[in-house]
Amino acid sequence: MVETESLRNTSGSGFKVTSGAIVCIADNSTDMERFAGDVTIGTGSVLHPRVYISANGGHVDIGEGNIIEEQVRINNRLSDKGTMVIGNNNVFEVGCIIEAKAIGDNNVFESKCYVGPEVTIGNGVTVGAKCNLTAPDTIQDLSVIYGENCDQRLANDKPTSQASQREFLSRILPNYHKLFKPNKPILETAALNSM
Amino acid sequence: MAFLAQQEAVIIACTCGSLKPVCRTYFCRHCFVIRCGNCVSNEVDSIYCAFCLDNVTCEHSLSVRSHTVRETTPQPQQPPVSKHATPSNRAYYLACFFCRWTSRDSNIPDQKTASGSWPERSNTHSTRLNVLLDYYKSIGALEKSNINIDHQSYMKYLRKPTHLLEDQFGFSANVRKQKVELLKKKNLILTDPHSKITVEGSVPTDEIEPLSEDFITKEIDLLSIPKLEQRFNISDLQPDHVSQLMPYHKRLMVKQSQRCRECEHNVCKPEYNPSSIKFKIQLSGYFCIPEIRIISYTPLIAGQVSEITFKICNQFKESTTIKFKQLPPKNSEEDLSYYKTLKKEILLTDNLHKSTILMEEARIQEVTTTGQLDLPKCELVLPPRDDAADCDDLADNQNYNDDPKIVIWRKCNKVGVRMQITPNPDLTVGSMVKVGFLLNFTYTNTLSSTLENKQAPQIIPVDVKMFIDVGVLSDETEK
């Protein structure tokens, strides 16, 4: 934990992955373009291949224990060039686009949803598949956004824990994918892989 | 494809008298007549849930599973039953994976079994509703009982104003006796003390609970108020807080097959499995009856001859010979009496176990044509449908002795036919020009030859009434 913190503080250039995070990289050179700018990924987070994270507008700080699935785009487009902070234990399902101001803990972003740059997400929020959040808003804790009209309701409990899924992925993914070695710049690793 | 064929410009008169586009008809290859949805008997094949496609196969499991299958969340989603499992003490609750609603949100206690005896909510007005239902039932029973008045004759009596003239001219003793009898019967029903059930009318009240003081100033929490749609789904309770939302019943869907009324052969049969979209539809009218489409026509002017081009297409796998005949002016007596024998059975199911069959009268539709079509006298031979030939541009070596004035072009199983059309002279501008003719085509019965082998296939001429909405009558001056 201490190590993570220190790494986050020193993050100021390039792509930083704390030990314990699993970042899959696809086996081609264009893959490096997927991580642009200053990105920090916390312990225990799992990034599937083909995840696009762009920190050109400012830092992107991803916390611990997140699952980020294929084709997810996380894009810092904040107007004040501030840091986009993503909390812990969130799940980003296939194809969602996240440009949120801040994201708390234990949220689920279902497939193909979109969270715009003026939105702040609390804790335990579920954004349903193909739901678009574009208006400036703060989504309160335990909200569920679902359906084609983006209906909102409050759940009683936070979404079920993804710990077992994360454990499964961290066991399976290294068997079939090339992984990004923590604490090394991505360019170097890609070069090693291609050798 | 279905969209093209479902256009109601070209309509076929079914054997039962109703009018349908060709893809909504069936052709029974045993009786050689056209059938439609109104004149076939329907048969329930399988019952299933439209949301989770759970197939409910037999009556027994239907009653056992009716709770789980029909239970759904307040929002219209399917009802996956999740296990909340601890090995020793396993309990079940309902959860919707779409909006994350669970039965715990509404304080519904967890159940021990998955198919569970989920509590039914009770209607607060159920006693009142039952009283009213009993009352209406008793009225219904009275009307049907043996002292009931002959309703028709009573209505006839009311409609005739002769009883008003009684004072002026007087009645014969016979008529007066009838009248007294009728009135007696009527009074008997309304005043019979034995069979009368009294119902207290609901009493209006002026006392309404006053609104709380902060009703207007209080900030509204939209997340705790159910939406109108959610309230109306539970119309008897109309909850005003989301925690009171309850699962409501969904109707099950039915897959049914259609049978010809006369020979009882299937004309349309779906597969039992609810997730399967396969149908046995070789007997769809679309594949047996030559299809007619309008290609083009010159502007239609009242009383003047215009030119119209049709495409006629044989979708059947045997060749056919078609002839055009003039339409008989009206439905003949014989036809009408036949139509009346074809009543549609409607199966009404009020709950899972009780069902009643209603008979619906045949829907006889008269069509008045507003134009004259100059029908070609010659026969047209259409080759069978050949999917491969559609891609072959060179296969034009057909030798049909066609009149070039009538047949414009031919391609595989399709033929372009030109005809003269004359809208009626008294037609107003802007009204639809409708023409009709009797299409006579030959149907080759391949069934008989395959069954008894060496026999040559039977060729049966079939008459179909066709009605075509050609287009709108245009103004002469616009030309």
Q: If DSSP states are collapsed to H, E and C, what string results for B287-347? A: HCCCEEEEEEECCCCCCCCEEEEEEEECCCCCCEEEEEECCCCCCCHHHHHHHHHCCEEEE
CA distance B3 to chain A (A): 27
> For tokens 């494809």, what's the residue?
B1
Kindly determine whether residue A144 and residue B242, on different chains, have CB atoms separated by under 8 Å.
Answer: no
Would you state the pLDDT for residue A134?
A: 93
Interface of B with A in 56-85 (CB under 8 A): 75
Q: What does the pLDDT read at residue A100? A: 93
The answer to whether A147 contacts B98, with C-beta atoms less than 8 Å apart, is: yes
pLDDT score of A74: 93
Whole-angstrom CA distances from B378 to B72, B436, B468 are 63, 18, 20
Cβ-based neighbour number of residue A129 at 10 Å: 17
pLDDT digits (tens, 9 = 90+) for A138-185: 999 999 999 888 989 888 888 888 899 999 999 999 998 888 776 555
Q: CB contact, 8 Å: B242 with chain A?
A: yes
Q: Which domains does chain B have, with CATH numbers?
A: 290-330+366-472 (2.60.40)
What proportion of chain A, given as a percentage, has pLDDT over 70?
82
CA angle B3, B252, B259 (to 5 degrees): 60
Interface pTM (ipTM) of the complex?
0.74
Q: Does B104 touch chain A (CB under 8 A)?
A: yes
Residues of chain A contacting B100 with CB distance shorter than 8 Å: 126, 144, 146, 155, 159
Q: Do A155 and B224 touch (CB under 8 A)?
A: no
B227 touches chain A (CB under 8 A): yes
All residues of chain A having their beta carbon less than 8 Å from the beta carbon of residue B101 are 153, 155
Is residue B418 within 8 A of residue B309, CB to CB? The reply is: yes
Residue-range domains of chain A with CATH: 2-194 (2.160.10.10)
Best B73, B94, B99, B243 residue to mutate vs chain A (most A CBs within 10 Å): B99
- Give the chain B residue whose CA is nearest to the CA of A145: B99
The strand pairing partners of B436, in sequence order, are B467
pLDDT given for residue B63 in this prediction:
44
Write out chain A residues lying below 8 Å of B76, CB-based.
none
Determine how many CB atoms are found less than 10 A away from the CB of residue B311. Answer: 17
The answer to whether A126 contacts B100, with C-beta atoms less than 8 Å apart, is yes
Residue B340's pLDDT is: 65
| H or E element in which residue A189 lies | helix A186-194
CB contact under 8 A, B75 and A147: yes
Whole-angstrom Cα distance, residue B115 to residue B109? 14
The list of chain B residues with pLDDT below 70 reads 1-6, 56-88, 115-116, 143-176, 179-180, 182-197, 281-282, 331-332, 334, 336, 338-363, 390-398, 447-455, 477-479
Is residue A102 very low, low, confident or very high in pLDDT (cuts 50, 70, 90)? Answer: very high
- How many residues comprise chain B? 479
Residue to test with chain B: of A144, A145, A149, A153, most B Cβ within 10 A: A153
Indicate if the pLDDT at residue A13 is higher than 90. Answer: no
Q: What is the pLDDT of residue A69?
A: 93
* Cα–Cα distance for residue pair B317/B444, rounded to 1 Å: 9
Residues A103-118 have pLDDT tens digits of: 999 999 999 999 999 8
* Chain centroid offset of residue A170 CA: 16
Q: Which residues of B touch A126 (CB under 8 A)?
A: 100
CB of B136 within 8 Å of a chain A CB? The answer is: no
- A166's CB contacts (< 8 A; 6+ apart) are A44, A46, A65, A67
**What is the distance of C-alpha B263 from the center of its chain?**
22
So what's the pLDDT on residue B253? 80
Residues of B in contact with A151 (CB under 8 A): 75, 99, 227
pLDDT in tens, A29-62: 455 557 778 889 999 999 998 888 988 888 999 9
The confidence score (pLDDT) of residue A87 equals 95
Question: By CA distance, what is A144's nearest residue in B?
Answer: B99
Q: Which chain B residue lies closest to A142 (C-alpha atoms)?
A: B100
Q: What pLDDT shows up at residue B61?
A: 46
